[in-house]
Amino acid sequence: MSHSALGTPCSILALCSADHGWGYPDLDINQDEPFPKWGGICDNGRRQSPINLHVKGSLKGEFDALKFENYDEHQKSLQMVNNGHSIQLFGFAHDLTLSGGGLGSDYVVEQIHMHWWSEHTINDIRYPLEVHIVHRNKIYPNITMAANFDDGITVLAVLYHVSNTPNEAIGSIIKSLDAIKTYDHMNVPVNVEDSLAVDDLVPSVNTYFNYAGSLTTPTCAEAVTWIVLTDTHPVTLDQVNQFKEIEYNKDKQLHNNYRELQAENNRAVVLVQQRSGAAGLMSFSLMLLLLGVFSQKVLF
């Protein structure tokens, strides 16, 4: 077991010391390089992530709407760091709170980071980018503590598809990327220049996969309720390639940082179609309209 598997979950903290105890195979150099063993529960857990999500094999579910508080607030003091495993954003002005859906309590955003290529696949398709919005259950005082509990963490995952239209929100993040790309700037946070609202990173949340899984980086804690949106956002390959230039070692670029697919182990994967308040409202207005037409006919 590598020492990092025993330590704090480095990648889910805002900052962590340089840690070369674990990493990813460089698939640009050798496509067949085996995925390394990270030790502990990463290797022998039964609810590990990511997994392939099939529309066909999932259970159909319906939950109340997910509720988002403060996600539309433009963040002015957001910080960003190259932690050697990803690019991470932190330092939100107010609590961004997620509730509703199948969640039993309120979850607040701790940090946001990305994976290039996507970690989850949908119907066996891998996407160029996956953004993870990591939330901590409010009943636990910090993320390290939360990682010890089944209901400790919720990650909202957004997959991005290839487009020829640059993504504006991703563009805002890329603007500050140069300052942290090189190894000598690793673990040194910078301010995100552009003001960014977190909901700019999120497409429609009406349909999503919900399943019980783990962190996809050591310690691989089995504490995560995954919400993987089926709607994807556009991003250009040129934008994704900017992330591939960040260094995790002297002159070593992080060409890919996704974990290999894990066994599903008969877990329930629920494809949730949110009850839509708007649709309810629409049918009500439609009824009024029809009622109006009907009464007009009666009157005239």
CB of 214 to Zn ion, least distance (A): 11
Stretch that binds Zn ion, among 127-135, 161-169, 229-237, 289-297 (CB under 5 A): 127-135
Distance CA 264, CA 246 (A): 32
Among 120, 132, 136, 233, which residue sits at the site for Zn ion (rule: CB under 5 A)? 132
Of 158 and 196, nearer to Zn ion (C-beta) is 158
**Among the listed residues 143, 155, 158, the one whose alpha carbon sits nearest the alpha carbon of residue 214:** 155
State how beta strands 59-61 and 270-273 pair. parallel
- Which helix (H) or strand (E) element contains residue 206? none
Stretch that binds Zn ion, among 91-99, 129-137, 142-150, 279-287 (CB under 5 A): 129-137
Of 132 and 135, nearer to Zn ion (C-beta) is 132
Given 3, 20, 85, 94, the catalytic residue: 85
Alpha helices (runs of H) in the chain, residue ranges in sequence order = 3-6, 41-44, 143-146, 168-175, 237-243, 277-299
Of 96 and 153, nearer to Zn ion (C-beta) is 153
Both tokens assigned to 66 = 């997910």
State how beta strands 233-235 and 224-229 pair. unpaired
Site string for Zn ion, 18-37 (x = CB under 5 A): --------------------
Site size toward Zn ion, by CB under 5 A: 1
Q: What is the DSSP letter of 230?
A: S
Stretch that binds Zn ion, among 28-36, 95-103, 125-133, 180-188 (CB under 5 A): 125-133
Distance CA 152, CA 66 (A): 17
Q: Which position's Cβ is nearest Zn ion? A: 132
Stretch that binds Zn ion, among 126-134, 235-243, 248-256, 282-290 (CB under 5 A): 126-134
Site string for Zn ion, 250-269 (x = CB under 5 A): --------------------
Distance CA 212, CA 222 (A): 8
CB of 155 to Zn ion, least distance (A): 7
* CB neighbourhood size of 200 (10 A): 15
CA distances from 56 to 53, 59, 98, 209, 238 (A): 9, 8, 28, 12, 33
**Among the listed residues 252, 80, 112, 108, the one whose alpha carbon sits nearest the alpha carbon of residue 177:** 80
CB of 37 to Zn ion, least distance (A): 19
Site string for Zn ion, 204-223 (x = CB under 5 A): --------------------
Any catalytic annotation for residue 85?
A: yes
Q: Is residue 135 at the binding interface for Zn ion, with CB under 5 A as the rule?
A: no
Let me know: does 6 contact 40? Beta carbons within 8 Å.
yes
Let me know: does 180 contact 246? Beta carbons within 8 Å.
yes
Of 66 and 224, nearer to Zn ion (C-beta) is 224
Of 120 and 132, nearer to Zn ion (C-beta) is 132
Residues that bind Zn ion (CB under 5 A): 132
Catalytic residues: 85
